[in-house]
Amino acid sequence: MKRLKVNGFTFMITMHLQCAVTEKTVPISPLVDQFSRTISYLRLSLTDRCNLRCIYCMPEEDQDRNSEVKTGRFLQHSELLTYEELVRVVRLTVSQGMNKLRLTGGEPLVRKGILEFIHQLSELDGLSEIRLTTNGVLLAEYAETLYARGVRHINVSLDTLSRSKFVKITGKDYFTKVWDGLLAAKSLGFRIKLNVVAMKGVNDDEFQDFARLALDHPFQVRFIEFMPVGDKSSWQMEKFISAEEIKLLVTELGSLAPFARNHGEGPARMYNFQGKDGRNGAVGFISPISHHFCDKCNRLRLTSEGKLRACLLSDRETDLKFLLRNGATDRELIESIRQTILNKPQGHTLQQDVMARERQTCSGRMSRIGG
């Protein structure tokens, strides 16, 4: 492998490029960045549209709360990658060693044709898992077919157990739909993670209720620190609460013992939570601000407008859609994917930005990037 430095960017010329003369996509070297992190996990944002308007995710101007999916400043359908283009990208990344895929958004379940798309993905050789992150609104309706198509792991975002607070956070009166979706998914045997964005003064009075939920149901409950993402984020220091503070609240109800193996849990630090009545559950903390996990990051993201993004919190992107729509060959696409990975930033500056009371660490919007 040779290193080449151009305009401050490091390019590594690997053997697979030097001997690239055919359109075969046989992996010759794993997808590794310049900090030796192997990238094996692709997150696809299928759409920036959503049937909710969460205060922490969308800028206020997109939060036309009386509308359903369509209004606001969302991408036109032609700006999204087609399913055919998405399948091509997934096939190519899988051919290079990517083995885990997450479908996200916006709300992935509002994109028409998603079930057929999942079916096509499930037929790709080498893809070991297709996971889904959803707000759960359409889960009751889709759960059975998702399961039949091979999806086994879903993350459901739910920040409150109160119906009225759900309306305040999301703009919609859909708490019951989400809850029904969770129960339907549970009865089918999905492995379910509940993502709770922690916001002081908004849902901190419910953290212990969420911890109890992990004892009552087989849901892994994961608290996520509220991040200032996007150009018009509603993030405020006053609303931030750290994972350590949440942990203290949870330990009032029982003990937390770190998982012996945290493998496969991504950025979450997972704990076995034993309640005072002896029951067990799983509780985790995702703490991008107070305790970043960049050194172990194995992720690559494809935004809903077809840009490859090597770091959630860095706006450095590769316009894959342009390449896809201008005749790029498989080999050229692979080369571009590899270069994006190679230039994955070493880490983000979220903690410093927050200390400087910056309300934004990158301009990309969560609903386009996919979280």
Sites of contact with ligand SF4 (CB under 6 A)? 50, 52-54, 57-58, 105-107, 135, 157, 366-367
Judged by beta carbon, residue 52 or residue 202, the one nearer ligand SF4 is 52
In the bound state with ligand SF4, the residue whose beta carbon lies nearer, of 109 and 341, is 109
Interface residue with ligand SAM among 135, 203, 220, 361 (CB under 6 A) is: 135
CB of 318 to ligand SF4, least distance (A): 23
96, 157, 203, 303: which one binds ligand SAM (CB under 6 A): 157
Under rule CB under 6 A, residue 107 binds ligand SAM? yes
Query: Phi and psi dihedrals of 296, rounded to 5?
Result: -110, 10
Binding to ligand SAM by residue 171, rule CB under 6 A?
no
> Can residue 266 be called a binding residue for ligand SAM (CB under 6 A)?
no
Nearer to ligand SAM, 93 or 134 (CB): 134
- Three-class SS of the chain: CEEEEECCEEEEECHHHHCCCCCCCCCCCCCECCCCCECCEEEEECCCCCCCCCCCCCCHHHCCCCCCCCCCCCCCHHHCCCHHHHHHHHHHHHHCCCCEEEEECCCHHHCCCHHHHHHHHHCCCCCCEEEEEECCCCHHHHHHHHHHCCCCEEEEECCCCCHHHHHHHHCCCCHHHHHHHHHHHHHHCCEEEEEEEECCCCCHHHHHHHHHHHHHCCEEEEEEECCCCCCCCCCCHHHCCCHHHHHHHHHCCEEEEECCCCCCCCCCEEEEEEECCCCEEEEEEECCCCCCCHHHCCEEEECCCCEEECCCCCCCEEEHHHHHCCCCCHHHHHHHHHHHHHCCCCCCCHHHHHHCCCCCCCCCCHHHHCC
Residues 6 or more apart in contact with residue 167 via CB below 8 angstroms? 173, 175
In the bound complex, what is the minimum distance in angstroms from residue 249's beta carbon to ligand SF4? 23
| Residue 57 C-beta: closest distance to ligand SF4, Å | 3
Binding partner at 361 among ligand SAM, ligand SF4, none, C-beta below 5 to 8 Å by kind: none
* Amino acid, res. 254: G
- Complex with ligand SF4: residue 33 or 225, whichever CB lies closer: 225
- The entry of ligand SF4, ligand SAM, none near residue 370 (CB within 5 to 8 angstroms by kind) is ligand SAM
Residues numbered 12-71 forming contacts with ligand SAM, rule: CB under 6 A: 50, 56-57
Binders of ligand SAM in range 206-235 (CB under 6 A): 224, 226-227, 229
**Number of other residues whose CB lies within 10 A of the CB of residue 275:** 16
Q: Which is nearer to ligand SF4, 177 or 247 (CB)?
A: 177
**Could you say which of 195, 303, 304, 340 contacts ligand SAM (CB under 6 A)?**
195
Query: In the complex, what is the shortest distance from the CB of residue 37 to ligand SAM, in angstroms, rounded to a whole number?
Result: 22
> Are the beta carbons of 20 and 29 closer than 8 angstroms?
no
- In the complex with ligand SAM, the residue whose CB is nearer, 318 or 361, is 361
Q: Residue 58: which of ligand SAM, ligand SF4, none does it interact with, CB under 5 to 8 A by kind?
A: ligand SF4
**63 contacts which partner out of ligand SF4, ligand SAM, none, CB within 5 to 8 A by kind?**
none
Binding site for ligand SAM (CB under 6 A): 50, 56-57, 104-107, 133-135, 157, 195, 197, 224, 226-227, 229, 366-367, 370-371
